[in-house]
Structure 1
Amino acid sequence: MALLEICCYGMDCAIAAAQAGADRIELCAAPNEGGITPSAGVLRGVRRRVSIPVHPIIRPRGGDFCYSAGEFSVMLDDIALVRELGFPGLVTGVLDEDGNIDLPRMAQIMSAAHGMAVTFHRAFDMCRDPFTAAAQLARLGVARILTSGQAKSAEAGLSLIRELKQQSATPIIMAGAGVRLNNLAVFVDAGIEELHSSAGMFQPSPMRFRQAAVSMSSGEPGDEFSRYAVDVAAVAAMKAALAAK
């Protein structure tokens, strides 16, 4: 049966996803940024309350994956914290200015994460040559690669995902981006063994008083009275569908 990883933003999401049957959680903050490193408080809370494997993301900001010296120093400090807290794995990725895997920095990450399973996240989908990158990550000892097959969705990129999976001596290839109940069978039939889904939804804020004239957004005003949450029914349905395969 294919493994189901759920991307969770915050402690409440992680607890809900685990209860709904997720096999593993990628723990993040800031969904509008595509996921950045959770706070120390969230990390400690999830470590205490969630028993399934949780892999926090190590990403200091949104945007590209080419980091300054200061940002990379923060990443190493965050890796030290998640390792100290006893998480079994982490999710990260670093590229250089030319769109290649930043091999010296990834080697430092692998050393800092010694004993933890490292997933190279969708920075992979922004790299210049996916086959060279996959081989390099294998040599570094990366456990898995999360990828959409360098396409807008994993379903659209399935051809490349298949090719990567067939390449010898590559990490586990985990399909992610647009993985939902209605297309699970496409990935299972292709022999993909690990699937990554956000299974997310927005729910209304419980606040009754709302100051409509003020926005906390620095850009276009967003809906500040809705909150990201995991769709527990979707997680349970995906898990049941995978179990039936």
Structure 2
Amino acid sequence: MLKEVCVENFTVIPEVIARGADRIELCDNLSVGGTTVSHGVASKSIQYCKSKKIKVMAIIRPRGGNFIYNQDELEIMCSDIIHFKKLGIDGVVIGCLNSRGWIDGKAMNVLLAAASGLDITFHMAFDHIKQEMQLDAIDWLIEHRVNRILTHGGPLNISIEENLPTLQKYIDYAAGKIIIMPGGGITDQNAVSIADYLKVHELHGTRIVG
């Protein structure tokens, strides 16, 4: 089982790797759902993780709030992706929606083009897609060669355990064509039982290694 640990800064990276982190997601300002980290944090983290043969993902999100971005914000995200590619990042974590509760295809295609060659995760914006559209969203992300979907299976105020049936539905529907990576409320105490129940090979959390 691959354990992806979400961190806000470099300080904790050596510790979480020592405790068993298999991949790092750089994600500042977790209190607002995560934003893009600084150049310094990204540079130092990538350098250190490469020395430990640990892959690094970075969320690309210019602000908290909704996932509907204007042209200026889209340009900021593209610049950050291109910059992180030059630093040697392994992948990026992105997600753009429109006012109808669906994937903003135009914005996503711009970001995917900028991120060509990188590992791509569609982040928990997925959980804000209208429920009746979520299976279609999985199809869209498969078609556009996104590697995985990070999802809680529902609103974050509902425990991950309560969302297991929904997560199972996504996993069954994805049928190995895209990775469904559960996250949100996964810790070192419940990670194994969740992975065993869902038969998944990747999990995400801030406390997944304690």
Q: Could you tell me the TM-score, scaled by structure 2's length?
A: 0.91
3-state SS in 2 of match to 1:181: coil
Matched-pair contact (CA < 8 Å) for 1:134–1:170 = no
Shift of 1:8: 0.4
Tell whether 2:131 aligns with 1:132.
no
Matched-pair contact (CA < 8 Å) for 1:9–1:31 = yes
Q: What is the RMSD computed on CA atoms of the aligned residues?
A: 1.4
Amino acid of the residue matched to residue 182 of structure 1?
Q
Shift of 1:32: 1.7
Tell whether 2:74 aligns with 1:72.
yes
What's the counterpart of residue 161 of structure 2?
Answer: 155
Tell whether 2:37 aligns with 1:38.
yes
Matched-pair contact (CA < 8 Å) for 1:36–1:61 = yes
3-state SS in 1 of match to 2:190: helix
Q: 1:99 aligns with which of 98, 101, 115?
A: 101
3-state SS in 2 of match to 1:91: strand
Q: How does 1:1-245 map to 2 (within 5 A)?
A: 2-51=1-50, 52-128=54-130, 129-152=133-156, 153-167=159-173, 168=175, 170-184=177-191, 185-199=193-207, 235=209
Q: Which segments of structure 1 move beyond 6 Å, counting only runs of 4 or more?
A: none
Amino acid of the residue matched to residue 183 of structure 2?
G
* Residues 62-99 of structure 1, C-alpha deviations (whole Å, 9 max, x = no match): 01100111111100000101111111111110001111
3-state SS in 2 of match to 1:196: strand
For 1:37 and 1:86, locate their aligned partners in 2 and report how far apart those are by CA, in whole Å.
16
For 2:68 and 2:47, locate their aligned partners in 1 and report how far apart those are by CA, in whole Å.
33
Gapped regions of structure 1 (runs ≥ 5): 200-233, 238-245
3-state SS in 2 of match to 1:182: coil
How many correspondences in the alignment? 201
3-state SS in 2 of match to 1:50: helix
Shift of 1:181: 2.6
Shift of 1:151: 3.4
What's the counterpart of residue 216 of structure 1?
Answer: none
Q: Could you tell me the TM-score, scaled by structure 1's length?
A: 0.78
For 2:75 and 2:103, locate their aligned partners in 1 and report how far apart those are by CA, in whole Å.
18
* Residues 195-224 of structure 1, C-alpha deviations (whole Å, 9 max, x = no match): 11111xxxxxxxxxxxxxxxxxxxxxxxxx
Amino acid of the residue matched to residue 196 of structure 1?
H
